[in-house]
Amino acid sequence: MPERRFDVSTLGEAMLRLSVRPGDRLLDAPAYQVHVAGSEANVAYALAQVGARSAWTSVLPRNRLAERIAGTLRAGGVDLSGVVWTNSGRVGTYFVELATEPRGPSIVYDRAGSAICAATPDLFDWDLVCAARIVHVSGITFGLSPGTLEVSRRAIAEARRRGCRVSLDVNYRTLLWPPAAAAAALREQRGACDLVICTAEDARDVFGLQGEPEDLARGLQSELECPAVALTLGAEGAALAEGGSVMRRSAFRVQAVDRIGTGDAFAAGLLWGWLEDSLPMGLDRGVAMAALKMTLHGDLFTLGADDVHRLLEGEQRRVRR
């Protein structure tokens, strides 16, 4: 890859997450924990923690809630030069009720009217957004509003025009749009992305694919005409289809504290390996970072490269025995 100002540039919404303690209900919780959240911001933050030069672009309103987001990301080493500040709109929020089995977590979104939803492509400095080796976008931004759909399309087109590698995380959200609409928008990007990240569930529900993980990964390669597809499999780990081969990695055993943000940590690890021209290395790192993220409260991956390497080296020693 040519030398660029950033290693990875991401674009999307950031929100504030308000969580109640495990065992409390949103209906009557006396207090909330506040965390910065948002898929693309999470990826940029995680990459910065492992030493990559990451940037995040978005639209934020001029208020203290947005300053909380910006301050957290800057403190984590994320470049915010491309953020557009506006006098309109708001910061989106979401509320999380954590629970253990047999109850799963409950999430309530309050993001309508957030500042980025009014964005248009002409709002952004595309030279700055694409001053990166990799430009990473997600299906969440495709689905937020008609404006952000156009922004997402433009981001991919501008990245390709400037010779950046393009990474797309499908990241389907049922509360944003129906599967058919998501599939149609993402299929427009056939041949435009170098790497696609998707859950096995989304491969089935959004794209209508069937079969074992290897079949799903190859199916997405064909569906989106993409050289490489990473498929996350939850407790079963992840798979990578690159060229004509498919490889699997098992998940680590985890006593989970908080599973939200796990997919973004995986994506960051995958991109970290890709920066070193090795998606198989990225697959290993992604599975490790996903496991480590589940030991942390909040959406952000706040550990470092040494933590990832130690986990991987420990696993290798265990396997050698």
Active site residue 264: yes
Neighbours of 262 (CB within 10 A): 23
CA distances from 241 to 96, 104, 193 (A): 34, 31, 14
Catalytic residue among 258, 264, 284, 299: 264
Q: Identify the DSSP state of 236.
A: G
- The answer to whether residues 217 and 248 touch, using CB atoms and an 8 Å cutoff, is no
- The answer to whether residues 104 and 97 touch, using CB atoms and an 8 Å cutoff, is no
The DSSP line for 268-309 is HHHHHHHHTT-HHHHHHHHHHHHHHHTTSSSSS----HHHHH
Buried b (16+ CB within 10 A) or exposed e, 163-184: ebbbbbbbbbbeebbeeeebbe
Q: Among all residues, which ones are annotated catalytic?
A: 264
